[in-house]
Structure 1
Amino acid sequence: MSSAPFTYEPVGATRDDLAVCPPGYHHLFSRTRIGEGPAVFHRAAEALLTWEMHRAMGVGMDTGAERVTPGTEVTVNLGNLIKAPCRVVWTTDEPRRAGWAYGTLPGHPEHGEEAFVVDRTGDGTVWLTVAAYSRPAKWYTRTAGPVARALQHAYARRCGATLKQLCAGEDEG
């Protein structure tokens, strides 16, 4: 693990509040219904905690870790055009909630934090929530403005569609 500092404050804010958005940041919140039942939840949690969801989307997740753990560093590669260094800030793996968030490190095109959480509600429905707060860090993300934010929202929706596909066929009982 490197000693590179995070490039934003407050670090870890998404852990307790996925709707958090500190002043000066743009907020992202996307929620997708994945399915129903314990088998769907367990499959979704495993796909999320092992980087499988991201890799199934074609996103490069360069890390030596097989599972997401706090302190794990990962460089997200988008089409070999953008390399985005991050460090996992927090994880959770509970009977009805699993997920994690990473924060940006120097060299990332944004400053901020992004969380991916699967939860199983009281009625058994399984949801993926992708939540983030960010602001541009590079000239090209500043220049892209609303287009960059639209791409972030599309990415979050794609996470949900990909996870739903990975969980298709699981027993919904």
Structure 2
Amino acid sequence: MRRGSFRDETVDYAAVGATQAPDLMQYPPERSIPATESWRIGSGETRFQSAGEALLAWRAQRDGGLVVSDVRPAAGPMYSGVSFDHEGHPIAPSRLEADQRFDADGTPWVSAGTTIRLHGRAGGMKADAELRVIFAIEEPRRVGFALGTVGDSVVSGEESFVLEWHDNDEVWFTVRAFDAPVALLYRLLPPLVRRRRRALFQGYLRAISPLYTTSS
């Protein structure tokens, strides 16, 4: 997949990074609907590493039934972007990245500042959007990133994807999001926002977890 030219767009919402707030579910950004789910997807270092590589190669989206296109890494030196500790406090970037990594088809991996186009449907509802990678995390036991809407979406907000390898050897995958309705239908019928979000979450789980079954 060819890399498009980078355009310096900004996200279309104010609460950047709020998916990492510990009280997201109690105090979501104004007019938004929050959601969070965590799943145990296995155990051990091998499972953590393979899931982390899949996550950073956009497999949650691509194998979850969506199409990722027009991947445009940030211009200039690569950086890890804004990161957050377990209590949701921002911390300094952990490292610089000298080399951009690519998937087998030439698609750049996740990196902070990258902008992408997403196409597809979730639960029969539109999932098209232009999105920006808000932050990217690569730590010995924690890998993830967050996507924020730039435009062309029926909702405005952010979703984060985090894998953690716990001290008890379990590997957990957590997705958190907040969606503010933009399209008229979603403003009139907020339950559609929740239905769309549930469908997206299930797609991400199917893509990342080898333990997933339709009955879970």
TM-score by length of 2: 0.70
Q: Which protein is bigger by CA-based radius of gyration?
A: 2
Counterpart for residue 172 of structure 2: 127
Percent same amino acid among aligned pairs? 30
Whose helix fraction is larger, Structure 1's or Structure 2's? Answer: 1
Unaligned runs of 5+ in 1: 168-173
Query: 1:106 offset after TM fit, Å?
Result: 2.2
The separation in 1 between residues aligned to 2:186 and 2:9, in whole angstroms, is: 21
Residues 179 and 193, structure 2, Cα contact 8 Å, conserved in 1: no
Moved more, 121-130 or 139-148: 139-148
- Equivalent residues of 1:18, 1:131 under 8 A apart: no
Aligned residue number for residue 6 of structure 1: 11
1:31·1:129 contact (CA, 8 Å) conserved in 2? yes
The C-alpha deviation readout for 1:59-113, integer Å capped at 9, x for no partner, is 1011334200111111111149542111110000111100000111122211111
CA contact (8 A) 1:44 1:166 kept: no
- Cα distance change of structure 1 residues 78 and 12 upon mapping to structure 2, 3 Å threshold: same
Partner of 2:167, secondary structure, is coil
The one of 143, 150, 153 aligned to 2:198: 153
> After TM superposition, which residue ranges in structure 1, 4 or more long, deviate above 6 angstroms?
none
Does the aligned pair in 2 maintain the 1:19–1:29 contact within 8 Å? no
Residue in 2 that maps onto 1:63: 70
CA distance in 2, matches of 1:128, 1:9: 26
Structure-2 change in CA distance of 1:43 and 1:107 (3 Å): same
Q: Does 1:25 align with 2:32?
A: yes
**1:95-114 equivalent positions in 2, closer than 5 A:** 95-114=140-159
For structure 2, list consecutive stretches of 5 or more residues without a partner in the other structure: 1-5, 72-106
CA contact (8 A) 2:60 2:203 kept: no
Q: Deviations over 1:133-157 (max 9, x none)?
A: 1111112322342023122023213
